[in-house]
Amino acid sequence: MATAKLRTPTLAFAALSICLNLAIIGCAGRTLSFYNTEQRNNAWLLPIWPNHFDTRELHALVGTATAIVVLNLVLVAALFVRALPANIIVLAASLLSTICSLVAVIFPTLLNQHAPTRDTLQTWTCRWSNTSIDRGRGPSGFNALCHETRFAFYSTIPVFLIQIFVLGMAVYTVAVGNNTQPTRIMSDTEKSVSQHELGQIRAQSFETKSESPRSQQEAQMDAKKGVQFA
């Protein structure tokens, strides 16, 4: 990157984003696996998973989190491999990661607002997590599923903020990198111009010094001639 001071913060935020998104993948993936298993093997003969159940929330969380992890890994690789154009790759990866994190925040929020008409795993399990169904007379684990889905969903908010920071640092780095080269060119030009002007001033000063004795002698001779004519 053009600004070396932003290298360490960028790596730190990228690593933190990777860790959070791996946690999102783990929680959302586990709850989705639990749902698929219980839906096929309903040992309680109860409609514990309604027909209008919506799992797009989980697929969106897993998909966006996976994309953000891959993009952040590409970003980290660009910072260590000197042959790659680090500024462009970091800017592109951070921009795409920010878009994915924004989708991960907005899309599940819209789906959760459709409950109870169309429940998601979060709204359904959290609604029944404290009832008797979860106390021995039905499927166990609703309380854990509620906490896991909430963690996976609410973790998208700090991920989005982290990606905003990374994108801001990438934009700043690209802007500084684009302004650095013209500044150096102008400085070199100004140096050459200043040296040329300094040379002219020095030449003029040398000529002045060389001509000043002559002018003084001519003035003295003119004064003597004036005195003689007088």
Q: What is the pLDDT of residue 48?
A: 66
Residue with tokens 């910072």: 79
CA–CA gap between residue 18 and residue 23 (Å, rounded)? 9
Report DSSP letters for 66-123, one per residue. Answer: HHHHHHHHHHHHHHH-TTS-HHHHHHHHHHHHHHHHHHHHHHHHHHHTTTTTS-BHHH
What global pTM score does this model have? 0.70
- What DSSP string runs through 18-54? HHHHHHHHHHHHHHHHHHHHHHH--TT-S--S-TT-B
pLDDT at 173: 86
Q: Quick one: DSSP state of residue 138?
A: S
Which regions in the chain score pLDDT beneath 50? 1-2, 134, 136-138, 181-187, 189, 201-211, 227-230
Rounded distance between C-alpha atoms, residue 174 and residue 88, angstroms: 8
pLDDT at 34: 84
Element (H, E) at 211: helix 156-229
C-beta neighbour count of 43 within 10 angstroms: 8
CA 171 from centroid of its chain's CA atoms: 8
Burial (CB count within 10 angstroms: exposed 0-12, middle 13-18, buried 19+), residue 164: middle
In tens, the pLDDT along 35-73 reads 887 777 665 555 666 666 788 999 999 999 999 999 999
